[in-house]
């Protein structure tokens, strides 16, 4: 497999605190790659740099060989790189259906000219988008709340809706930021199943930051461990769990881990 995301020698500091220190990673196309590490390891900072939410101090980020280091999140959206957030960013006063229908770009109804002079074009495209939204709701098992205000959904349902929004466009890479946080075990099973299906059936590549090691173990291969802003080790979850460096990074010593 070829790398779809490549991070080269990224540095990032806040004031005098160096958070990312010459960090390089690769995410292979078609993989579900996990990123873990103790608190303060730099996971979220690196994630936000890749997603275009935070500028790096130096280094390069590539998407399928193209330099995207200085691209904004909306530019990355149009290139097929999307992200979800630890706290869902739904439009709370719109329905679940409307949240999905908002996603596809360049809809003809956005133009006043089309709305006035080409209403059939607007209507036909809206019908297509609505049908796609219904299909996505069925895929993520949220058809029963399609007319519910998104703000009234449970935390787990909001996470499912965020995942569904990535399906309303031509996503290639999805960055998942602690998607299991605040989700009950039943809906977490639905989330993991949907991620697996999107990866297997639609070819999505995922980069996952997560503290739920059961989820990482089920979904991710390889797993990248960050510590002090650098890659400590990368490998299969079984190798990671038994790696002495990782144990000490998380727990301070082998004795504490025991």
Same domain, 81 and 96: no
How many structural domains are present in the chain? 2
pLDDT tens digits, one per residue of 74-89: 999 999 999 887 667 8
Q: In terms of pLDDT, which residue wins out, 33 or 90?
A: 33
Same domain, 80 and 179: yes
What pLDDT band is residue 254 in, cutting at 50, 70 and 90? very low
pTM: 0.86
Same domain, 204 and 225: yes
Q: Is residue 164 part of a domain?
A: no
Q: Is residue 166 part of a domain?
A: no
Using a 10 angstrom Cβ sphere, with 0-12 exposed, 13-18 middle and 19 or more buried, the burial of residue 178 is buried
Round the CA-based radius of gyration of the chain to a whole number and report it: 20
By residue range, what is the domain housing residue 67?
Answer: 3-89+171-257
Residue 258: predicted pLDDT = 33
pLDDT tens digits, one per residue of 130-171: 999 999 999 999 999 999 999 999 988 998 998 998 888 888
- Give the domain CATH number at 82: 3.40.50.300
pLDDT tens digits, one per residue of 34-80: 999 988 899 999 999 999 999 999 999 999 999 999 999 999 999 99
Spatial CB neighbours of 180, under 8 Å, sequence gap ≥ 6: 188, 191, 210, 211, 212, 215
Cβ contact 20:11 at 8 Å = yes
């Amino acid at each position: 497999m070829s790398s779809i995301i490549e991070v080269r020698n990224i540095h990032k500091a806040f004031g005098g605190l160096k958070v990312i220190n010459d960090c390089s990673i690769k995410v292979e196309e078609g993989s579900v790659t996990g990123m873990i590490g103790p608190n303060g390891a730099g996971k979220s900072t690196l994630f936000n740099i890749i997603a275009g939410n935070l500028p790096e101090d130096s280094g390069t980020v590539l998407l399928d060989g193209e330099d995207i280091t200085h691209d904004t999140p909306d530019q990355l959206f149009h290139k097929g790189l999307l992200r979800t957030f630890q706290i869902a960013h739904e439009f709370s006063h719109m329905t679940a259906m409307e949240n999905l229908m908002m996603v596809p770009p360049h809809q003809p109804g956005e133009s006043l000219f089309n709305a006035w002079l080409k209403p059939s074009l607007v209507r036909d495209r809206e019908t297509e988008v609505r049908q796609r939204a219904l299909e996505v709701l069925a895929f993520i098992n949220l058809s029963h709340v399609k007319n519910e205000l998104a703000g009234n959904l449970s935390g787990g349902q909001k996470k499912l809706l965020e995942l569904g929004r990535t399906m309303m466009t031509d996503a290639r890479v999805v960055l998942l930021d602690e998607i299991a946080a605040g989700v009950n075990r039943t809906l977490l099973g639905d989330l993991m199943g949907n991620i697996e299906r999107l990866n297997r059936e639609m070819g999505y590549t995922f980069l996952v930051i997560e503290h739920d090691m059961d989820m990482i173990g089920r979904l991710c291969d390889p797993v990248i461990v960050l510590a002090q802003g650098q890659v400590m080790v990368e490998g299969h979850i079984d190798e990671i769990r038994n790696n002495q460096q990782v144990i000490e990074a998380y727990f301070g010593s082998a004795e504490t881990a025991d």
